[in-house]
């Protein structure tokens, strides 16, 4: 009798298309070849499991059949942000093929142990920790559940042993800054995220490294430390614009703060990009809807969540969890919020 878990035979071509790799790379993983990057291997093995791939007789390496159903827990500090919305979308898309439901929870320390008891009652197949930070005490509590977990873009270096997935924040900071330099800007301001976050530190480091490489002396008075929220971008952009020598461009460490920069520019009677070029980071959907559309660094938010889901499902079906951190690349998306310095109006 044919198993109900496999509607039709999944081919190597199907797996390659979903994983975004060549059929040859999938074949290498199936045959146990070592010449495949660890992150690529995890992605392929996860797709093999979630799609229920059944190897042919020629395949040397057995692949465990997928177990469908159940729940996957996503734990947030704040699930109401645009970043969280993209995370949830990516997780749901990846879980759908395995018929797994996504449950969104909030880590609320005020509720004591109740949040942990709620998770235990649901018996999830895995936990995605989409948190700004995870304390040692929180980790021990989660570990006691006996449920596999994975961190997404954790705040700092963690000795908890939980694997993590993140984006190339340093490279993204470099790309944003280099784009502005290529447009002729030299006084480039930056509004960071909270500096206890590794991603904020990396984006700022990429900004500074690119200025140095271009022979531009970094001006610390052009760097403001924000909190990733709209109000922070608005307030700090006003402070930068009111400097005796204001910047001609601002790199905001996330799109929500970049939209706050837009509001500050309008409040001062200026225009984007004629008076100020603006670059964000994340590429959430709203970045395309504002006027002008926001130039930003695309962080693969949905893909990060999808990879987390697939990794956890694959682990339960026999694939080892990755060690350390898996990193996906970022990409600069140029839209209408940046322009050559010569285009700017005289203030």
H helices of 183-300, in order, are 198-213, 230-241, 255-267
Does the pLDDT of residue 273 top 70, yes or no? Answer: yes
- Tell which wins on pLDDT, 142 or 206: 206
Q: In what order do the strands lie in the sheet with 149-152?
A: 101-106, 71-76, 127-130, 149-152, 164-167, 325-328
Q: Using N-to-C axis directions, what is the helix angle for 301-316 and 38-50, rounded to 10°?
A: 70
Asked whether 226 and 232 are in contact (CB, 8 A), the reply is: yes
The yes-or-no verdict on residue 61 having pLDDT over 50 is no
56 pLDDT above the threshold of 80: no
For the chain, report the end-to-end CA distance as a whole number of angstroms.
Answer: 77
Cα 244–chain centre separation? 36
Percent of the chain with pLDDT over 90: 45
CB 216 within 8 A of CB 189: no
Rounded Cα distance, 5 and 84, in Å: 31
Q: What is the mean pLDDT of residues 151-179?
A: 81
Distance of CA 337 to the CA centre of its chain: 22
What is the pLDDT at residue 327? 84
- Torsion angle of C-alpha atoms 103, 106, 110, 114, degrees rounded to 10: 10
At residue 300, the 3 state secondary structure works out as coil
The tokens describing 153, both together, are: 């873009």
Q: What is the dihedral of CA 216, 218, 224, 228, to 10 degrees?
A: 60
> For 332-342, b where at least 16 C-beta lie within 10 A, e where not — what string?
bbebebbbeee
Radius of gyration of the chain (CA): 22
- What pLDDT, on the 0 to 100 scale, is given for residue 280? 98
Q: Is 303 helix (H, G, I), strand (E, B) or coil?
A: helix
pLDDT averaged over every residue in the chain: 84
Percent of residues, the chain, with pLDDT higher than 70: 82
Inter-residue contact 61 to 55 (CB < 8 Å): yes
- 152 forms beta bridges with 165
> What is residue 123's predicted lDDT score, i.e. its pLDDT?
85
pLDDT at 80: 84
Average pLDDT over residues 214-230: 95
105-119, 162-176, 240-254, 288-302: the lowest-pLDDT one: 105-119
Dig out the tokens for 289 from the structure: 């809807």
Q: Return the pLDDT at 65.
A: 42
Q: Which of 21, 45, 66, 82 is nearest to 229 (CA)?
A: 82
* pTM for this model (two decimals): 0.73
**How far, in Å, CA of 313 to CA of 319, rounded?**
9
């Amino acid at each position: 009798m044919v198993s109900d878990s496999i509607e039709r035979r999944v081919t190597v071509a199907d797996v390659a298309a979903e994983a975004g790799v060549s059929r040859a790379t999938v074949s290498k993983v199936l045959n146990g070849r070592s010449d495949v990057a660890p992150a690529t291997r995890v992605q392929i093995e996860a797709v093999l499991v979630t799609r229920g791939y059944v190897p042919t007789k020629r395949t040397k390496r057995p692949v465990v059949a997928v177990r469908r159903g159940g729940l996957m827990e996503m734990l947030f500090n704040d699930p109401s942000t645009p970043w969280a919305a993209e995370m949830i979308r990516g997780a749901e898309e990846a879980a759908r093929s395995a018929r797994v439901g996504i449950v969104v929870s909030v880590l609320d320390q005020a509720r004591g142990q109740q949040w942990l008891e709620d998770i235990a009652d649901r018996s999830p197949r895995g936990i995605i920790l989409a948190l700004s930070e995870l304390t040692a005490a929180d980790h021990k509590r989660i570990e006691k559940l006996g449920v596999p977990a994975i961190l997404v873009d954790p705040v700092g270096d963690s000795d908890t042993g939980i694997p993590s997935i993140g984006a190339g924040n340093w490279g993204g900071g470099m790309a944003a800054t280099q784009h502005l330099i290529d447009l002729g800007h030299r006084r480039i301001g930056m509004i960071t995220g909270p500096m206890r976050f590794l991603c904020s530190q990396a984006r700022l480091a990429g900004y500074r490294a690119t200025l140095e490489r271009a022979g531009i002396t970094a001006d610390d008075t052009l760097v403001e430390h924000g909190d990733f929220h709209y109000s922070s971008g608005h307030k700090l952009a006003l402070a930068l614009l009111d400097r005796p020598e204001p910047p001609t461009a601002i790199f905001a460490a996330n799109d929500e703060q970049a939209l706050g920069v837009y509001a500050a520019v309008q409040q001062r009677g200026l225009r984007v990009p004629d008076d100020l070029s603006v670059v964000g980071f994340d590429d959430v959907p709203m970045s395309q809807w504002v006027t002008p559309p926001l130039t930003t660094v695309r962080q693969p938010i949905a893909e990060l969540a999808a990879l987390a889901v697939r990794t956890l499902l694959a682990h339960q079906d026999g694939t080892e969890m990755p060690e350390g951190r898996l990193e996906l690349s970022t990409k600069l998306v140029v839209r209408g919020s940046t322009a050559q310095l010569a285009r700017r109006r005289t203030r």
